[in-house]
Structure 1
């Protein structure tokens, strides 16, 4: 199942630039609100909420903000009548690259307008629901760091119900599973002593578009960066491949 991690690798390289602004408090807080609303508002019994809180703490969000977000999700926070909903948007970037956007919003019209403007200004088009999602499959992914023995990782991954794994860089692996099995896989790997740095749901492209033109690459990365910076946007995934050298030049 090689190729699963192409987008992850792109995101990691792009993170060097993105680290200057980081994931905003708004985005991370919204993820907590939705997780608390979709299940019990207790991280001990809600895996999605637990992972959202872990990411928020890693980003330095104060505990008071986290507790407030949980209360909003549970409906126990006074004075907040806004209702967030999760929406997936789809579109095409320069060169026909397929792009999926996962958003959390309390105003669909505002979010759609912001996304449409981002696409049109950067050589892309916001499309209809279903126009590109058929090119992606959602999987659960555990990122494991400090892997010393691949055989032990494979054994632990299989016991946790994984479908496959892929070494992405030195001593770091990504282990893939069905969406419904992510929590079980995460727990199994940790019980076997592996360091799980992240557990998330990710859209995996079934095919990729090669981007080799510098102008096209620059426009595409600018589009993705613009989409990523919107408060309503939680995650952006695309199906392109790009040489590292071209990426470095395009992001500089």
Structure 2
């Protein structure tokens, strides 16, 4: 009996080790399979990530997920149309900075909605050009060293507990924007700026801010005066 026990223990240990090795190999294979969706690849030019197309994917969804423009995604993969199939491996262009994404109109849906809400609240009685101009002021502030660097931060900015834009303070920014406001937001995001670089706007008939009246006027569109810094 004393001679059989050690031999049995050795055989048992060998079986356990073999099972562990098989399990480790299987786990590694499973992990490798799961990581085929998005993985690092050798950087060539501006390409640094590859993505395996999944069932239900389309170019717009993939571009949004990786914060790149659809046209950049197509260019990186030499695609002449938007047709892709599950299993296709796409090269994802290097991500852009926030301002770079803005310049190409690549922003999250909620930021487009927020911009449209502000435009609607501030300028729903104005012409289409006047609405685009209000959107342009928001984007001009992002490019200025004197203001925050994202659409939400610019719109929600406070000075001495007072919001920069009155609709945020009085709640009218929560009004549902119409199609005109959405189109104006899209035009502003595409780079259209009827103001020529203005950082401020106000209605001279109702403004109570004496300081803003001292700013250099750039242009007047509808009921709004557009101004810049001194």
TM-score norm. by structure 2 comes to: 0.22
Which structure has more relative contact order (CA 8 Å, sep 6+)? It is 1
Higher strand content, 1 or 2: 1
